[in-house]
């Protein structure tokens, strides 16, 4: 029985590249889905304060709730470490709201419950909220125009 080693390694290499391509595609698609869902709600929201205000708080809370629901709340903590580590008041606000979103995403029974729960959280939020369970934002004189970063 004669075996040729040439076709097998080539096939394995191709298979490895296909697996890698699928992994990259999936890893790239997930953030796109989360961002598309989040922005589809943010762009329809009447909330003011696109940066540092209630709309910013809504965006962070909603995206983090989706991530916690679909992956795990630990993923939100990783994102906080990577994206929000500059130590500004705005970063502290974002971290706070991301953790509230993670809590919401961890406790809602259905995906369709995420947005209404986040909306209620933001509706009961306030400037410099004193409670760790209350959505917060900066004072209006620190808000920036627009909905994007």
Report pLDDT for 20.
79
pLDDT band at 148 (very low <50, low <70, confident <90, very high): low
Extract the tokens encoding 48: 């003011």
Secondary structure (H, E, C), 21-41: HHHHHHHHHHHHHHHHHHHHH
Residue burial 88-102, b: 16+ Cβ < 10 Å; e: rest: eebeebbbbbbbbbb
Report pLDDT for 77.
92
Extract the tokens encoding 108: 């809602």
* Average pLDDT over the chain, rounded to an integer: 88
Report pLDDT for 13.
65
In tens, the pLDDT along 72-115 reads 999 999 988 888 877 889 999 999 999 999 999 999 999 999 99
pLDDT band at 60 (very low <50, low <70, confident <90, very high): very high
**For residues 56-85, average pLDDT:** 92
Distance between CA 22 and CA 78 in Å, rounded?
A: 23
> Of residues 17 and 35, which shows the higher confidence score?
35
Query: What pTM did the predictor assign?
Result: 0.82
- Return the residue matching tokens 């004072």: 139
């Amino acid at each position: 029985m004669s075996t040729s080693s040439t076709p097998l390694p080539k096939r394995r290499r191709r298979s490895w590249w296909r697996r890698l391509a699928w992994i990259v595609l999936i890893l790239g698609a997930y953030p796109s889905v989360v961002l598309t869902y989040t922005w589809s709600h943010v762009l329809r929201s009447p909330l003011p304060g696109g940066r540092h205000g209630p709309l910013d708080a809504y965006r962070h809370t909603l995206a983090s709730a989706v991530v916690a629901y679909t992956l795990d709340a630990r993923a939100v903590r990783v994102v906080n470490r990577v994206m929000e580590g500059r130590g500004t008041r705005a970063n502290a606000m974002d971290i706070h709201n991301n953790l509230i979103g993670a809590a919401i995403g961890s406790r809602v029974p259905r995906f369709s419950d995420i947005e209404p729960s986040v909306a209620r959280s933001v509706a009961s939020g306030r400037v410099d909220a004193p409670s760790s369970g209350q959505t917060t934002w900066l004072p209006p004189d620190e808000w920036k125009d627009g909905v994007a970063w």
